[in-house]
Structure 1
Amino acid sequence: MLAASDYDKVNEEWEAFRKGTTFGPEICDIEQQRYAVAMFPSFKPSIEYPNVAIREETIPVTEPKGEIKVRIYAPTDVQGPYPLVMLYHGGGWIAGDLETEDAVCKNISSQAHAMVINVGYRLAPVYKYPVPVNDSWDALTWAIQNASILNIDTSKVAVTGSSAGGYMALVMAAKDIDEDTHYISSSLPFNR
């Protein structure tokens, strides 16, 4: 069995087999994969949400030390404190960004009258596991610690995401249990 640190490497036997076959598409590089995710039609918002205010913040992350961006969506047609939805984008850990689930975030904020925080966690292969998990947990902790400034109701915190982001939401729920922090009241992963 491979060690976890070996999962980011291409298996030489598989690569030799793949090159010797005539079926299937050529494997594209990271930049091509990121471009494909960014161009996926469902990620492009087609509906305007005038009742949602949007802003970006840069927040500190701890392991390794650095910063990430989060995008905050707040309903403007209701008063807070708001329920909080932490959203983690899909992209297979190597692609995706704050634009990937922008339309979903706007829709959730508008329809659920919730504050949505879209997390721009750092991506592989530059940032290997557990960096994306650490970033996501730091973003959740930042939101809870800044609840009064953000005007959120910490008794109503959900985590969600699509694909790899759905997995991240479940990891956050498990970490919440392991850390005994009781931040999260609901998890709702989804797939496209």
Structure 2
Amino acid sequence: MPSTLLELCEFREEIRKSRFITLAGPITSAADAAAFIERHSDPGATHNCWAWKIAGQYRSNDDGEPGGTAGRPILAAIEAQDCDQVVVLVIRWYGGIQLGTGGLARAYGGGANKCLQQAGKRLLVQRDDYTCSCTFAELALVKLRLAEAEGLVLAEQFTANGVDLQIAVGADHVALLRQQLADLSRGRIRLQAQ
């Protein structure tokens, strides 16, 4: 099951006099990735190479290194670690010794791998969207049952009769939550898939 990072992670190493700093962090959108790369890139460095992945979307950049020697190995490291919603930036200061294309790929991919291996991670739970309605008095208990099912409240709208909720719940928790909400309300609260 894919996981994302809990927070920013950093890994540093020197390979044949070239300095590499690898930074990895959690993201939720392409805009987050662009902001991370802009915020952490060093304009004084020789190269700022990066890759990010969010579900089926991904991008990578070699930033002047020979094609396929930086961005792709970084992306391969993200996929090898089964990470998602992650951006990795590898900053390189050239040390005067050529690494060759194989050496570059190993340096960029290896740094990304080591950084992601030591990073704190959390599993990404796949959730489906549902709606339900409850009374004001039931709202606290509905939210408690939802939290126990590792669900999320996406939106709530207060009406004259109670509260309309839009929620997200993992598939393995739906049946139990559906039963708990029915028991709580004598069958009145029903989860409806969106």
TM value normalised by structure 1: 0.24
Tell me which structure has the larger Cα radius of gyration.
2
| Larger strand fraction of residues | 2
TM value normalised by structure 2: 0.24
